[in-house]
Structure 1
Amino acid sequence: MWRAARKISKAVFWLVTPWRMRERLLFLHERTVRNERVKALAALLDKERLRQESLRRGASGAASPPVLDLFDTVDVLEAAQLPPEQVFWAPVHADAVTNREAAARFLLDALRQREELRDRFPGALSEPGGGGLVPWLQSPEGQQSLGVTPEDAQHLVSLFSEDFAARARQFFLVSEEIRRVLPHGLLPSGQRSLFRWFLQHGLQASDLGLEEVWWLFLQARENPRAELRLAFLFTPHWQQNFPDALTVFGWSRFADWVDKTYGAGSVSQRLAVSSDFLEPALQIRIAYLARTSWRDEHPDALSNTKAALGLLQWLESSEDAQIGPEARAWVAGLNGRALIPDLLKPTVNVIGHFCYPSGLRVSVEAMTEAMASAGVRTCLRDIRTDARDDPQHVRFDGLEAGDITIIHAQPEPFFSEAYARADLVERMPRTYRIAYWYWEFDSIPDAWTAHAAQADEVWTATEFIARGLRERLSVPVKTLFPGVTLAPFQIRDRAYFNLDADRFTFLFTFHMMSVMERKNPLGLVRAFKMAFRADEPVALVLKTSFGDRHPEQFRALSEAVAGFPSITIIDQVLSSDEVLSLMHTCDAYVSLHRSEGLGLTMAEAMLMGKPVIATGFSGNMDFMDEENSLLVSYERVKVGRPIPPYDAELEWAEPSVEHAAQLLRQLYAEPEWAREVGARGKLSAQKKLSLESAGQRIAARLNEISVLRRSAPAPDLP
């Protein structure tokens, strides 16, 4: 009855509003298309599940799908089940190669259509430099063969400056529903189904170009063995079942299983022994960690030279090691004494945001570089956030080969999901686990205590954060600054950023995801307006990103600067190179933050020799003082209202707008004094923030942990 009445009322409404009929019909059509796509996707996945189940049961009718022939138009169309115009593009002529998209399509056409080109450059899309293709493109012979000018050839060469397929691969990696069924999607046995998914669903759900998808599949076709390696490294249940798969000790068993599970031909370049996936010392370390019998027989093999040599001799000579003849021969061919220092080298696993454009990425990169400077080897894994991450997730492919793991991720929202988002299985029994956390207050949320229970100790960057953590946590809390350095960056002029070259320019950079109220750009805008008239040759640049995700706050910021043309907002994701380049173009850096865990951008500006004005409160006070920077006075106040993730009762600073305005004016009015402030800040920052000293402190603590773990249970560590 109720449904019938609703349908009648809807029909009546449609009759009295005929001018909206076109809009309604379009909506109904789009809904129908969406529903059909959902059904098609479900059917595709169900078909693949049934095929794999038949293989597991050993059913007589179970068969591998025919390998997708990317050079056969009929086969490609059959796989895609789409009309040709949605699978192929119109031919690209040489004179149209004027941008990356056209260049990619032109080159892919040449490879698909010319077998002799593929034979000459079999690693064109999968090897560095195109396996010789790049120099050929730069040569008169190559240009004449393709009918392109030297200028056109440069567009083709530019495709190889980075992995052109990276965005398409990353989209596959973040599509968890697909990967659950098609972890082998880029192997020969899975390409047909994955190709259909990309063309029917993936392109509509992403901003990928068709040429990026084609590049990915042709790249995978060139080197299926490399694709199997990547599939293993980013499929946790494979890692769990075959922890030593990429070693000479476990490869054959794993390869056999893949063929039986996903279909014959999944491992198309079969090798009885795989000795080149990982360096020898890492292969032995991973196999040792995977085998209880090895550890029982040689318990000190990864910490003692004599025991390590004993392990190698045992592997070579004893049947108790239970390894195949190929693996035994491989061990016999090693120079054991030369290998042992590498086998015993301190190794730490680091799981962090290596691809998320944020201060967390800068921090984890600095920490990793600092440890390298101190001789600590690291196995790195990236924690995925969303599809907007830099498409470099597969570059961070380290397994949990060390006995200590640093999880460099905030307690919320990703700490408890760090392994899953890193596509990494947790080693069992688990490693000694260190949480590296930032916070902006001197007290922490109650929920953090539960997250701390997953760690053996917590590290943080500054004493400001450490004090709050120690008050609430029962595990050890250590202050270990990650170090700060300026990565090499391109020098650009202000015109690149559409900024006026003739104005004294102040800069503030912040991330909208880091809570705008805490970063306090509105207070800075008020101070700037108080310090300067609109017609003075001075400017303020507010560099932010992800304003679209925080429309209310971004609207407030836009309204605050309206009518003041000397204030510029840059709301876009710039590369780290561009961010440093922007900082280099400006005359001074300003932060009227209410609280900071560290204050990374202030540290970077000081290292660059820029005078820095900043609130004299919180984490930045670990490296800033009255001698090396200009500190703004403040009052401690309560937050006052809940601003997730901050409670109303927390306290932060309210910087003095008047004092900030005075300092802004003074820097502008006294440029020589400003340069002196910047020079003092640079000298101070170089001493306090160096990666080398940070690396030595981190290495010392890691050594303490290792020594104490060998003599006492981990919970008893101080």
Structure 2
Amino acid sequence: MALLTEKEFHPLHSLWRRFPVAPRRRGAAGLTAWLAPKAGRDLLPPTGGEVLIGGELDRESGLGEGARIMLRACAALGIPAHGVQAGLMEGTDRPSRELFADRAPLVLHVNAPSLPAVLLRLGRRFVSQRRIVGYWAWELPVVPPLWRSALACVHEIWTPSAFSARALETIAPGRVRVVPHALAAAPVTPSHLDRQAFGLPQEAVVTLVSFSLASSFERKNPLAAIRSFREAFGTRRDRFLLLKISHAGHYPQDMACIRAAVADAPNIRIEERLFSAEDSSALTRCADIVLSLHRSEGFGLVPAEAMMLGRTVIATDWSATTEFLSADCGMPVSCRLIPAKDPRGVFEAKGAVWADADIGSAVLALRRAADNEDLRRQLGARAEYIARQRFSGTEFAAAHWSLTHRATSGRDAA
């Protein structure tokens, strides 16, 4: 089993996190946006269709995985591409000499508040006369004012869902393009690991809840998933819940809440180890049901990847996951919309709402799926078919062609 080491936050970052959230984010975003190189008007034409993919390539995160998915898709589709380590958490590599030589467009999987700082790290000479694309994902229907400061730093914006695009269009009209993650262009091959290797019961119906605490405890809403499972099955040994939690060590208070919700349940286990992509895929394949009672998703990688593997997905019926998950290929959970309140202050914007999944609906879905193997098989087969169609990479190929063949005499209006 290939285990990954969870890298520690830099000491300066730990110190920085002690300051009040909102002021530090506004201050950092405003200063870096003022200093950062702006998207230039005089662009040199790219040659050979090459594209640079930037992001936190070595980090376990949604944005990091998005960059890795795009690089794999490029290889599968015959698109010449180079990865550029670019981020705040993992740092930014100094681009190699050969990357300076051409003017290949740069697609940065870095959200707006951090993008100016990343451009500063890459350097003005590297960014100059190069088309810059921000690959952004946002999980609420309202975009915070903080994001506007980065608009002058990009020529265009790509985003993985129509849900996210509608929000981004309000601050960048005419500059947003929906480019879903091309999961099916180069799908990850699961490793050989089976239930025994992961310590999962052989005969039980296994439900998997997988999320990163770095992506917001409140938004991922694991307490609703735990409550739904416990109400559906109690302590039945033939029903098992695995909570796969990334970056747990950095959020002790969140983990305390999760452990309290699990209490002494004999059929619930917490898994904090980081696995390789192949082993993570194998773990998902070992599950019968993948449960996501999220409050909102800008795309929904966990449900989408589970569908690619033919799993039965039960997910909140709101935000980006509704673009590929329906009653035809999964089990949507009804919900109501409530004001978006994130104790960390990240996923908040004036007037924004997100979903509160209905526990009763989730309980019924869990029981129905767990009790009917034939239904799980039918939904899983349909889910895999839908996912392979929806995430084929067609939109990415079209976006790449447009990016590398468009006129370069000017930049989109900010």
**Match in the other structure for 1:713:** 410
* Mapped partners of 1:604, 1:463: distance in 2: 18
Change (3 A) 1:366 1:552: same
The answer to whether the Cα contact below 8 Å between 2:218 and 2:343 also exists between their aligned partners in 1 is no
Instruction: State the AA in 2 paired with 1:680.
Output: R
Cα deviation for residue 424 of structure 1 reads 5.6
Q: Contact 1:374–1:695 at 8 Å: present in 2 too?
A: no
Query: Per-residue deviation at 1:647?
Result: 2.3
- AA of the residue aligned to 1:626: A
Change (3 A) 1:428 1:457: closer
Report whether the alignment pairs 1:435 with 2:137: no
The alignment's TM-score, normalised by the length of structure 1, stands at 0.49
Q: Within the alignment, does 1:366 sit opposite 2:69 as a pair?
A: yes
Equivalent residue, structure 2, for 1:380: 83
Distance in 2 (alpha carbons) for counterparts of 1:585 and 1:428? 44
State the TM-score, normalized to the length of structure 2: 0.83
1:446 matched to 2:145? The reply is yes
SS at match of 1:690: coil
In the TM superposition, residue 578 of structure 1 has moved relative to its aligned partner by 1.9
Q: Deviations over 1:487-534 (max 9, x none)?
A: 123121222222222211000110010001111110011111111120
Q: Equivalents in 1 of 2:356, 2:372: separation in Å?
A: 27
- The one-letter code of the counterpart of 1:653 is A
Q: In the alignment, is residue 416 of structure 1 matched against residue 113 of structure 2? A: no
SS in 1 for 2:325: coil
Q: Look up the match of 2:154.
A: 455
Which residue does the alignment assign to 1:686? 388
Superposition map of 1:125-524 within 5 A: 344-386=47-89, 399-400=99-100, 401-412=102-113, 414-419=114-119, 426-427=125-126, 429-474=128-173, 476-485=175-184, 486-524=187-225
SS in 1 for 2:307: helix
Alpha-carbon distance, 1:589 to partner: 0.7
Q: Letter of the aligned partner of 2:372 in structure 1?
A: E
CA distance in 2, matches of 1:661, 1:464: 27
Q: Which residue of 1 aligns with 2:37?
A: none
1:600 aligns with 2:297: no
Q: Matches of residues 41-80 of structure 1 in structure 2 within 5 Å?
A: none
The equivalent position to 2:271 in structure 1, one of 563, 570, 576, is 570
8 Å CA contact 2:156, 2:412 repeated in 1: no
Q: Greater RCO between the two (CA within 8 Å, min separation 6)?
A: 2
Structure 1 CA distance, aligned partners of 2:401 and 2:118? 26
Task: Answer yes or no: is the 8 Å Cα contact 1:435–1:458 preserved in 2.
Answer: yes
Deviation, structure 1 residue 375: 3.9
Deviation at 1:352, TM superposition (A): 1.0
Q: Is the contact between residue 119 and residue 127 of structure 2 (CA under 8 Å) also seen in structure 1? A: no
What secondary structure is seen at the aligned counterpart in 2 of 1:557? Answer: helix
**Aligned in 2, Cα 1:382/1:522: closer, same or farther, shift over 3 Å?**
same
Correspondent of 1:561 among 254, 262, 280? 262
Q: Distance in 2 between matches of 1:469 and 1:592?
A: 24
SS in 1 for 2:227: helix
Counterpart of 1:664, as a letter, is: L
Q: Which amino acid aligns with 1:624?
A: L
**Overall identity of the aligned pairs, in %:** 25
Q: 1:573 to 1:428 in 2, by over 3 A?
A: closer
- AA aligned opposite 1:482: H
Task: Look up the SS of the partner of 1:578 in the other structure.
Answer: helix
2:359 is matched with: 657
- Any idea what the Cα deviations from partners look like across 1:378-406, whole Å, max 9, x if unmatched? 2321125446x9xx979999724334221
Contact 2:51 2:107 in 1 (8 A): yes
Residue 611 of structure 1, CA deviation: 0.8
Report the Cα distance in structure 1 between the residues aligned to 2:98 and 2:215, rounded to whole angstroms: 29
Q: Give, as a single letter, the amino acid of the residue that structure 2 aligns with 1:583.
A: T
- Provide, for residues 341-390 of structure 1, a one-character-per-residue CA deviation record: whole Å limited to 9, x for no partner: xxx41122221121111222221122223334444322321125446x9x
Structure 1 residues 78-122: Cα deviation after superposition (integer angstroms, max 9, x where no partner): xxxxxxxxxxxxxxxxxxxxxxxxxxxxxxxxxxxxxxxxxxxxx
Change (3 A) 1:678 1:175: same
How far 1:563 moved relative to its partner? 1.7
Q: How many Å separate the matches in 2 of 1:402 and 1:498?
A: 50
Partner residue, 1:633 = 334
Tell whether 2:373 aligns with 1:671. Answer: yes
1:531–1:665 Cα contact (<8 Å) kept: yes
State the match for 1:702 in structure 2.
403
**Using the alignment, how far apart are the partners of 2:96 and 2:219 within structure 1?**
32
| Residue 243 of structure 2: aligned partner | 542
RMSD: 3.0
Q: Deviations over 1:408-432 (max 9, x none)?
A: 11223x31222455x5664363312
How far apart are the structure 2 equivalents of 1:535 and 1:397?
60
Say whether the 8 Å CA contact 2:317–2:332 is kept in structure 1: yes
- Residue 327 of structure 2 aligns to a residue whose secondary structure is coil
Q: Contact conserved, 1:625 with 1:631, CA < 8 A, in 2?
A: yes
CA change 1:527–1:410 in 2 (3 A) is same
Give, in whole Å, the separation in 2 of the partners of 1:474 and 1:583: 38
- Whether the aligned pair in 2 keeps the contact of 1:507 and 1:541 (CA below 8 Å) is yes
For residues 13-53 of structure 1, the C-alpha deviation after alignment (integer angstroms, 9 at most, x for no partner) is xxxxxxxxxxxxxxxxxxxxxxxxxxxxxxxxxxxxxxxxx
Q: Which among 581, 587, 602 is matched to residue 288 of structure 2? A: 587
- Does the CA contact (< 8 Å) of 2:140 and 2:354 recur in 1? yes
Q: 2:325 aligns with which of 607, 624, 630?
A: 624
Gaps of 5+ in 2: 13-41
Normalized per residue, which structure has more strand? 2
> Which residue type is aligned with residue 377 of structure 2?
R
Q: Which residue of 2 aligns with 1:237?
A: none
* Gap regions ≥5 residues in structure 1: 1-160, 162-166, 177-294, 304-343
Q: Cα distance 1:411–1:397, how it changes in 2: closer, same or farther (>3 A)?
A: farther
Instruction: Point out the structure with the larger helix share.
Output: 1
Which SS does the other structure have where 1:714 is aligned? coil
Task: Give the Å deviation of 1:569.
Answer: 0.9
Q: Is the 8 A contact 1:372 1:695 kept in 2?
A: no
* Other structure's SS at 1:647 match: coil
Distance in 2 (CA, whole Å) between partners of 1:429 and 1:533 is 60
- Residue by residue over 1:162-199, the C-alpha shift from the partner in whole angstroms, topping out at 9 and shown as x without a partner, is xxxxx9xx99xx999xxxxxxxxxxxxxxxxxxxxxxx
| 8 Å Cα contact 1:627/1:680 also seen in 2 | yes
Cα distance in 1 for partners of 2:96, 2:276 equals 18
Hey, what's the Cα distance between the residues in 1 that align with 2:254 and 2:97?
37
Change beyond 3 A, Cα 1:373–1:698: farther
How far, CA to CA, are the matches of 1:432 and 1:459 in structure 2?
13
Larger radius of gyration: 1
Q: Report if aligned partners of 2:341, 2:347 keep a CA contact under 8 Å in 1.
A: no
Q: SS of the counterpart of 2:338?
A: strand
CA contact (8 A) 2:56 2:89 kept: no
Letter in 1 for 2:152: A
Matched to 2:355, the amino acid is A
